[in-house]
Amino acid sequence: MYSRDHVNISFSDEKFFDFTFHEIGIYDTTATIDYVLNVTGKKKVITIGHSMGTTNVLVAGSLRPEYQSKISLSILWAQAAFLGHMHMKYMIDVFYSLFVRVQNNRPAKDFFVRGRMLDLFKASSCSKGGFLNPYCLMVMEEFSGSGSNQFNQVCANHN
């Protein structure tokens, strides 16, 4: 875990985990950009996003357009998902529905904190030998671009 602190919400409170990419992009990413600009005295920043970081910058730039002029360059590596030309939309819907059902029956912190629900999910579905492994790999390949060379099954099987 990178951060378990909040100004007024305890880590054990369910509200601690009640946020989306929307909030990260419009609040956290923009606050970070402002902080860097204030500390450095520069007019623009260069952002580098990896995976979820690409989403954060894209949300910030699209929903807070005034930040576009504060970014001179965005380097976006390993985007979080490819959603065009998906062949398995039904299976993605099934996995998403299952994920939501499991998450709604457990405290959010139990799902996202390493060593609890996340490890159980990975062990049962994505780990080599897990009973859902073939389906998990198919879903992950769809998100990385079906039939592309963007997907590495070896990395997907790591715990």
Tens of pLDDT, residues 37-88: 999 999 999 999 988 899 899 999 999 999 999 999 999 887 665 555 556 5
Write out the E strands in the chain.
45-50, 71-77
SS3 73: strand
Residue 1 has what pLDDT? 46
The band of 153, judged by pLDDT with boundaries at 50, 70 and 90, is low
Residue 41: HSE in the Cβ half-sphere, 13 Å Cα cutoff: 0
**Does the pTM exceed 0.75?**
no
Alpha helix ranges (H) inside 47-88: 52-63
Residue 159: HSE in the Cβ half-sphere, 13 Å Cα cutoff: 16
Rg (CA), the chain: 18
